[in-house]
Amino acid sequence: MSSYRAMGVTGGRCRVNLLITLFLMCVCIATAAATVAGAGYAKYRDPRQPLSRRIDDLLGRMTLAEKIGQMSQIEQANATADVIKKYFIGSVVSGAGSVPAVKAPPETWAKMVNGMQRAALSTRLGVPILFGIDAVHGAGNVYNATIFPHNVGLGCTRDPKLAKEIGAAIALEVRATGFQYAFAPCAAVCRDPRWGRCYESFSEDPEVVQGMVAAVISGLQGDIPGGQRKVAACALHFVGDGGTMDGDNQNSTFHELLRIHMPPYYSAVRQGVSTVMVSFTSWHGVKMHANHFLLTEFLKTRLQFKGFVISDWEGIDRITTPAHADYLLSIKLAIMAGIDMVMIPYTYTEFIDGLTKLVQNGHIPMSRIDDAVRRILRVKLTMGLFESPYGLAGELGKKEHRELAREAVRRSLVLLKNGKAGDKPLLPLPKNAKGSILVAGSHADDLGSQCGGWTVTWQGVAGNNLTTGTTILGGIRQAVQGHGTDVLYYEKPDAGFMRRNKARFDYAVVVVGEPPYAEAFGDSLNLTIPPPGPSLISDVCGSVRCVVVLVAGRPLFVEPFLDAVDALVAAWLPGTEGQGVSDVLFGDYGFTGKLARTWFRRVEQLPMNVGDEHYDPLFPFGFGLDTQPLKT
């Protein structure tokens, strides 16, 4: 009996212990559930939550230091893991020419970017970095990237579908480096070709610019933004930079801001562009980086732009004259004007300290900081960076992209003249010449000059060591291969050479143009063909029938040479796929491009645009001769 009693006591104790254990487990589960439902459950990490709830949740967790870090974009050379973690850096920029190594492959870029991203994700809140890179005509900083024709040429295609396809290809090549933010497209309406950035503009006509800008944004971001195959786009530069006095890159715009220069931004905002970059220019003397009316009242309030506004490179420094003279004032004016993210490649500690002080002293309200960070977080969450913070491999310079670029070259070429009076047209050229073909000129075998500025380096570099691709000379040689035709290349044949050898040549292709340049370094008041281009045209075209191919970022002064040439082709800045030029010269495809800007007679006429009262162009807006492809 006692033994049974003992057994009963032991069993009872076991049951009690079991109940206690179950109770404690329930308490733990309940506590864990409460933790998940409360402070420990991060709604911002849950993609099932509505976007606004994720933003509110994350913003509510952030300290002032973390918020200001999100507003800071620094140069990749300074973005060490320690800096990223200490200052909670929200964005990194790879300035033009800033590379992890000379001729670095995409894997090296991705390794660099992924290391920075891991540092950001290891911080308390783990907010991913948004990496930005110049991509006005391709992943331009990266060796072996596909370099598409600059916008001055693409505008001549008048084809938004092509522009969208190019935007999608650029997005893939940018993501191949680990970057997810492309500084493109340029929404400027260039009204004066003396401006050094005119080649970044699609046209002098705002309607053409509108259609092309919206298409590129759609290609870059996708019709539904997000995913590893798309990037955040940036409409630049807000606003009026294409209408400055005398084409001065950082001058003031006075006229027709709303009618001419603003419409592309209407289209960009409607297309859902993620970001807008501010111009270095002024409007009626007020620096755009400090213009509250245009940045906040007009862009954000009236146009209802939901993305974030970013400054240009050290743009807030230039609010004062001289630059950086009163940096605290510049920070205050820029942030209160409506700039959300500040591109401060080098002075980031000074900016962070200054902005912190301005907020703590009440000179900048926390509501303005919260608005800026909310906009930045909206872009990052919409892009899906919290779910897919890393890049995409295997897309840089791929064959499909190069074929697309070659097609874009073909369709951007504009035929301005084809045949002298009384002669039959010279184009298309025969591939089976009886004698030889002379190819001449500084730009015939020069990949760097074909690509222009914003290619691997900021200003671009002449020559064939910049990146990989096909020169115009290389395209010509491939075009006639197998037809028993000799192609002889002389960069600078003079009059004596032509007298001695003109009987050898059936015809000549003379390729001349501008050297590479970018921004203010391209500002020019004369727009002449650099020497020895003019004398070369005279010497060669005075001896044999010739086609002159002009490689330039804008119309140049050509009227004095026009009678001497048999055919004249505007090739603009065609990029890496020079075969696109030979495809059309030899009749595999016809000429279809139409001028997207007016070709002046004399520089003294400038600015001169279609619709002006005194309109007397050498070639009017929309001009372009057609040819039919040869039957094969």
Q: How far apart are CA 174 and CA 136, in angstroms?
A: 11
Sheet containing 286-287: give its strands across: 252-253, 282-283, 286-287
Neighbouring C-beta atoms of residue 610, cutoff 10 Å: 15
Instruction: Report which residue type is found at 631.
Output: K
First vs last C-alpha separation in the chain = 112
CA triplet 325, 326, 332: central angle to 5 degrees? Answer: 140
Q: Which of 443, 453, 410 is nearest to 195 (CA)?
A: 453
- Return d(Cα 511, Cα 528) in angstroms, integer: 15
The residues that bridge with 350 in the sheet, in sequence order, are none
| Catalytically annotated residue among 173, 204, 205, 312 | 312
Which residue carries 């040819």 as its tokens? 627
Burial of 593 (0-12, 13-18, 19+ CB in 10 A): buried
Tokens representing residue 590 in the block? 């016809």
* 598 CB-near residues (< 8 Å, 6+ apart): 204, 555, 608, 609, 610, 615, 617, 619, 620, 621
519 classed as catalytic: yes
Tokens linked to 256: 């027709």
- Which residues lie across from 436 on neighbouring strands? 486, 505
Per DSSP, the residues of 32-55 read: HHHHHHTTT--GGG-TTS-HHHHH
Cα-to-chain-centroid distance, residue 591: 27
Alpha carbon distance 271, 83 (integer Å)? 35
Nearest-angstrom CA–CA distance, 302 and 122: 39
| Gyration radius of the chain over CA positions | 30
Q: Are 314 and 280 in contact (CB under 8 A)?
A: no
Whether 453 and 516 have beta carbons less than 8 Å apart is answered as yes
Helices 399-412 and 160-175: crossing angle in degrees, nearest 10, is 150
Q: Any residues with CB less than 8 A from the CB of 246 and at least 6 apart, and which?
A: 192, 194, 525
Catalytic pick from 340, 445, 514, 519?
Answer: 519
Q: Which residues are catalytic?
A: 312, 519
